Amino acid sequence: MIVKQLMSKRLVTIDVDRNLRDAKALMEKNRISRLLVKDDEKIIGMITERDIANRLGTWKERRISDARIFISSTYSSNLIKINQNQDISLAAGEMLKRGISSLAVCDNGNVVGILTKTDVIKALKDSKVKVRDWMSRPVVTLGVGAEVLHARILMLRNGIKRVPIVLGNRLVGIVTEKDIAKALGLFRKLAEGRHWDEKMKKVLVEQIMSRDIITVDPEQSLGGVVEIMFSKKVSGLPVVENDRLVGIVTKTDLVRVVAESKF
């Protein structure tokens, strides 16, 4: 299986001179987590939800409106490319090696598509391999009452995009990088110029977490996980056994399977 068979040919772009509020709005409108950045119609880089969350969460920028922070100072100009005829396992390995979630797909030097982790895991739609063999553990969690800014720091420190929220031993919610980026931007918009940083510290994870949690069993097949991720539009699923959180399976875990397989 090659990259061309799984890549998305739909290229959503934004001008480098636009602001982060515009970028977030465009991502939400298109239900995507990254935009190609252009300058005079030439693609020069990419901006992701993680880039935005990282920028808005820095201490230096906490008092500045996201409408006054520009893409030009936030996007990544290091656009990692791959040829459309490369094997999908090589593309998956490249993502893991570089710690990225997408690749620009090229043909004769021109960007013709984009390959994301979401695209890559389509290769596993018929896999019978068990979740137990590939899930991540132990799971990094936070308790109810933790600050949203603490969740963000935990994600950065551990290189993860979601944190399950627990009350005692019970799983009660999950906070994702997307939830935090949205909360930082919304709260910033509502509290501009009014002690934003002090107020943001009081926002707790239970105020932004998803409570409708979809879980899987360790014996679930990876093909079943892929189906759930696409139908429910989620990127990670807590793994629960006997009412106990025993792991989490994410798109990154599934990309690792593709990288080590042959198609």
Does 109 share its domain with 212?
no
Could you tell me the CATH number of the domain that includes residue 34? 3.10.580.10
- Tens of pLDDT, residue by residue over 27-74, are 999 988 899 999 998 999 999 988 887 787 665 555 677 888 999 999
Asked if residue 223 has pLDDT above 90, the reply is: yes
- Tens of pLDDT, residue by residue over 4-27, are 999 999 999 999 999 999 999 999
Which of 99, 123, 147 is the last residue before a domain boundary? Answer: 123
Q: Which residue has the higher pLDDT, 188 or 15?
A: 15
Give Cα 196 distance to the centre of its chain. Answer: 25
Does 145 share its domain with 80?
no
Angle between helices 49-57 and 20-30 (to 10 degrees): 140
Mean model confidence pLDDT for the chain: 90
Q: What is the pTM of this model?
A: 0.82
Among 222, 239, 236, 75, smallest CA distance to 171 is for 239
Does 8 share its domain with 78?
yes
Domain that holds residue 7: 3-123
Does 110 share its domain with 167?
no
Asked if residue 82 has pLDDT above 70, the reply is: yes
Sequence-ordered list of residues with C-beta below 8 angstroms from that of 92, at least 6 positions apart, any chain: 120, 255, 256, 258, 259
Does 28 share its domain with 62?
yes
Q: Give the side-chain half-sphere CA count within 13 A for 117.
A: 23
pLDDT value, residue 168: 85
Does 58 share its domain with 111?
yes
Across 183-196, average pLDDT = 61
Q: How far apart are CA 220 and CA 100, in angstroms?
A: 27
DSSP letter for each residue of the chain: -BHHHH-B----EEETTSBHHHHHHHHHHHT-SEEEEEETTEEEEEEEHHHHHHHHHSGGGTTS-TTSSBGGGTSB----EEETTSBHHHHHHHHHHHT-SEEEEEETTEEEEEEEHHHHGGGGTT---BGGGT-B-SPP-EETT-BHHHHHHHHHHHT-SEEEEEETTEEEEEEEHHHHHHHHHHHHHHTTTS-HHHHHTT-BGGGT-B-S---B-TTSBHHHHHHHHHHHT-SEEEEEETTEEEEEEEHHHHHHHHHTS--
Does 44 share its domain with 98?
yes
pLDDT value, residue 197: 61
Does 157 share its domain with 220?
yes
Decide: 109 and 127 in contact? Cβ < 8 Å: no
- Tens of pLDDT, residue by residue over 134-160, are 999 999 999 999 999 899 899 989 989
Which of 123, 140, 170 is the last residue before a domain boundary? Answer: 123
Total count of domains within the chain: 2
Does 87 share its domain with 180?
no
- Tens of pLDDT, residue by residue over 105-128, are 999 989 999 999 999 999 999 999
Q: Give burial (CB, 10 Å; 0-12/13-18/19+) of 128.
A: exposed
Does 92 share its domain with 171?
no
Across 183-208, average pLDDT = 70
Would you place residue 189 in the very low, low, confident or very high pLDDT band (cuts 50, 70, 90)? low
| Torsion sign across C-alpha atoms 72, 75, 80, 82 | negative
User: Whose structure tokens read 């993680």?
Assistant: 50
Would you place residue 186 in the very low, low, confident or very high pLDDT band (cuts 50, 70, 90)? low
Which of 88, 123, 158 is the last residue before a domain boundary? Answer: 123
